[in-house]
Amino acid sequence: MIPPTPAQLGYRMPAEWEPHRGTWLSWPHKEATWPGKFEPVPGIFARMARHLAEREEVHINVAGPTQEQDARRRLAAARVDQRRVFFHHHPTNDAWCRDHGPIFVHRDVKEQREQAVVDWGYNAWGGKYPPFDLDDVIPSRIAAEQGLPVFHPGIVLEGGSIDVNGRGTLLTTESCLLNPNRNPHLGREEIESYLRSYLGVSTVLWLGDGIAGDDTDGHVDDLTRFVDPTTVVTVVEDDPADENYEPLQENLERLRGMTDQDGRPLRVVPLPMPRPLYHEGQRLPASYANFYIANGLVLLPRYDPVLDEQAAATLQGLFPDREVIGIDASDLVWGLGALHCVTQQWPAR
């Protein structure tokens, strides 16, 4: 007998702006992810934790007591209120909790909210960065620790490759989810079926390619994000000579023709791209779309003084009841990810 899927049981993935219990992080420790630039990275995590802990719980995966002690020292130096910080001895291979962390779904039963975890397979973006065995089991470890049911779809999918409006619509990209380095045996319709069955969505919207320098093969959280049930922001490059210009224009045109689960056209708000960033000749995937939405807060990666303010003003207008706080992500993005890539929301029950 085939067990029922989360959707059949009434579960859905909530939108990121819905109330949180907290935020999950995996403490950075792999120096090879930021060669020559690792030293500032834990401090960036600590600054994020300071702002988050003012508004919600912060849950941090660490390898054990030694790493916890180091993280606590960094948090203290950043003046983090550690009464709302909780450490979990779950060793990881790397720090990208958006992609290896638990994706929470919930349902309402008899006026009570029940949660579960969906544990997708994880292969470090197509096997690019082995080993990844520790990261692959993080969702199930957290589910067991928290006493939550866990669902195993049996296919590879990273959290940064999807974005939902919490009402039934999901955004993703062809360049990532259809890449043969994830699930070569599955086509578009089969992948859509998994998304509907395990995340409770009804409509899947497909963008094309990602931005230059993105080693994830085009995660949507560097491109386009829901900011309310009917509105998306999408990054746009103004320089026709830039290699991001054409793919981002194509995504913009696709969005303008898309509708949500109820057939309503999306409201599309352009978001600027920062100036190109390079390190040792490598283009970095710097994008203002890689922001993180928390309780009363939006954390925005900062890269460029002039364009930072333009991006912040755009998001502040879209989130009038949340404070938009910029955090310098110039060193963090040398690891090829930014603020959204290292966070995973834990919805409130």
Would you kindly state where each structural domain of the chain is located, as residue ranges? 20-347
List, for residues 175-222, the tens digit of each pLDDT value.
Answer: 999 999 999 999 999 999 999 999 999 999 999 999 999 999 999 999
For helices 41-53 and 65-77, give the axis angle rounded to 10 degrees: 70
- 169 pLDDT tier (thresholds 50, 70, 90): very high
Q: 239 to each of 79, 221, 245, 275, 285, how far by Cα in Å?
A: 41, 21, 6, 10, 16
For residues 295 and 340, is the Cβ–Cβ distance under 8 A? no
Provide the pLDDT for residue 154: 97
For the chain, give the percent of residues with pLDDT over 70.
Answer: 100
Average pLDDT value for residue range 37-51: 97
**What confidence category does residue 321 fall into, taking pLDDT thresholds of 50, 70 and 90?**
very high
Q: Which of 203, 341, 344, 345 is labelled catalytic?
A: 341
pTM to 2 decimals? 0.97
Q: Is 341 a catalytic residue?
A: yes
The CATH class that applies to domain 20-347 reads alpha beta
Distance set, CA 264 to CA 121, 202, 225, 317 (Å): 33, 14, 17, 22
141: alpha, beta or left? (left if phi > 0; alpha if psi -120 to 50) = alpha
